Amino acid sequence: MSLLGDLIWWIFGGLVLAIIWFVIGIILMVTIIGIPFGLQCFKIAGFVLFPFGREIDLGGFGVGGFIFNLIWIIVVGWELAMAHLIAALFCAITIIGIPFALQHIKLAQLAFMPFGARIR
């Protein structure tokens, strides 16, 4: 069932958002300081492609993760979180789109604080 959800997800915006995550990751990898942030973007881009059947555990990031999350929020985190929230609003217009809206909300949480999050 999750494979079917992922396939429909790609058609209705998941593929576009994964490409956005990937491009932002490439842009962040240009500088040495941005490498850890770019690596997170690549990991999350893979998660954006296959979000169904997987859960996110936020928290447990420690002091270093807190600092990285703070920098992340300032640089790209809030923009990516807002993109997922806007996509969630568009998906929630119809009853069929509600599961996709829930996935976007889950991804918005991850987009806001990716360091220290666990995907299972």
CA nearest to 41, candidates 16, 23, 65, 15: 23
Domain count, the chain: 1
Model pLDDT, residue 13: 81
For residues 24-35, b (16+ Cβ closer than 10 Å) or e, as one string? bbeebbeeeebe
Give the domain range for residue 57: 2-119
What residues of the chain score a pLDDT lower than 70?
A: 1
Model pLDDT, residue 1: 62
